[in-house]
A and B are shown apart, each in its own frame.
Chain A
Amino acid sequence: MPLVGGVFIGVSASLLLLLKGRIFGVSGILAGVLIPKAGDTAWRAASLVGLVTAGVLLQMFHPASLAVASDGTYWRYIAAGLLVGFGTQLGSGCTSGHGVCGISRLSLRSILATLTFIAAGMIMVASLRALGVLS
């Protein structure tokens, strides 16, 4: 299913570009709602509503996709959230904006960003494994 999901993602990013001329980057869309700029917030808010609506549909028809295990170690999710929120703003993008849209238009910035965040993620997981946090 990853390939099917990926095709969905590619099609939806294309739809936003074709209709509105914008890049589908979730971290930028989120920041544009949290720190609103006049006249450029409504479509972003509608995008967030679309993502949440997707969550509702998944919960109804494919609940296994949202079966998020919780191991109770909240420090981990607090630190992770802060890193992702801060890092995506500093680095101007996340998996969608850099990883999908940026690479698709062969942006060197996005290619480097994507290689960097995947490598950093792998190093983090290897460190967690070395520390015995992952079983």
Chain B
Amino acid sequence: MSLIFAAFISALLFGIGLGVAGMTLPTKVIGFLDVSGNWDPSLAFVMIGAIAVHSVSYRLITKRASPILTTRFQIPTKRQIDPKLILGSVLFGAGWGLGGFCPGPAIVAAVSGGPSVLVFLGSMIAGVYLHQFVHKLLYSKGG
């Protein structure tokens, strides 16, 4: 139960941070990406603030033998730079620029009930399933 609560509280704070930062406003996000037009670089400070905190806390936290509520840290270990990483990031970035939403802000902003964000969220979910379908299709042979 405490694990569930920990995840809930972390995500609650995270979502409020997204809203306070302006990440939930697609016009603001598109302004950040609009280097050839009315560039608004202010959202860079979201990443700067988040990384400033987390890069320090990450080092302190992972010095512990284990997290507080579980037995081990589960940090991604993959090191390989593969085409999937780059192609996936190209597609994600294109969608981010096109709609002005990335996954977290879309979930938070969906509460507004705005048609554009709801259409985006529905399509994003479809995109996750589409990837699962394609992945199974390509990698089903030999598990």
Residues of A within 8 A of B (CB): 1-24, 26-27, 29-31, 34-35, 42-44, 46-59, 62, 65-71, 74, 76-92, 94-96, 98-109, 112-114, 116-126, 128-129, 134
Residues of B within 8 A of A10 (CB): 49-54, 57
Quick one: which of A85, A117, A124 contacts B131, CB cutoff 8 A?
A: A85
Q: Is the CB of A1 within 8 A of B20?
A: yes
Supposing A58-B108, A65-B24, A125-B34 touch, asked if A81 and B15 sit within 8 A by C-beta, the answer is: no
Does A88 lie within 8 Å of B120, measured CB to CB? no
Instruction: Report whether A90 and B84 are in contact in the complex, using a CB–CB cutoff of 8 Å.
Output: yes
Contacts A9-B50, A58-B111, A91-B88 known; A118 to B93 CB distance under 8 Å? yes
Contacting A83 at CB < 8 Å: which of B18, B69, B76, B95? B95
Given A19-B10, A69-B26: A119 touches B34 (CB 8 Å cut-off): no
A20-B42 contact in complex given A6-B47, A81-B121, C-beta closer than 8 Å: no
The total number of A-B Cβ pairs within 8 Å is 477
In the bound complex, how far is the Cα of B56 from the Cα of A106, in angstroms? 11
Q: How far is the CA of A58 from the CA of B22 in the complex (A)?
A: 11
Q: Could you tell me the distance in whole angstroms from the C-beta of B2 to the nearest C-beta in chain A?
A: 8
Shortest Cβ distance from residue B48 to the other chain A in the assembled complex, whole angstroms:
6
Q: Please report the C-alpha to C-alpha distance between residue A33 and residue B116 in the assembled complex, in whole angstroms.
A: 23
B49 partner residues in chain A, CB cutoff 8 A: 2-7, 9-10
Tell me whether B25 and A125 are in contact (CB under 8 A).
no
Q: Is B4 an interface residue (CB 8 A)?
A: yes
Q: Are A100 and B51 in contact (CB under 8 A)?
A: yes
Cβ-defined contact, A50 with B124, below 8 A: no
Residues of A contacting B140 with CB < 8 Å?
none
Of A8, A34, A47, A84, the residue contacting B7 (CB under 8 A) is A47
- Asked whether B13 lies within 8 Å of A11 as measured between CB atoms, the reply is yes
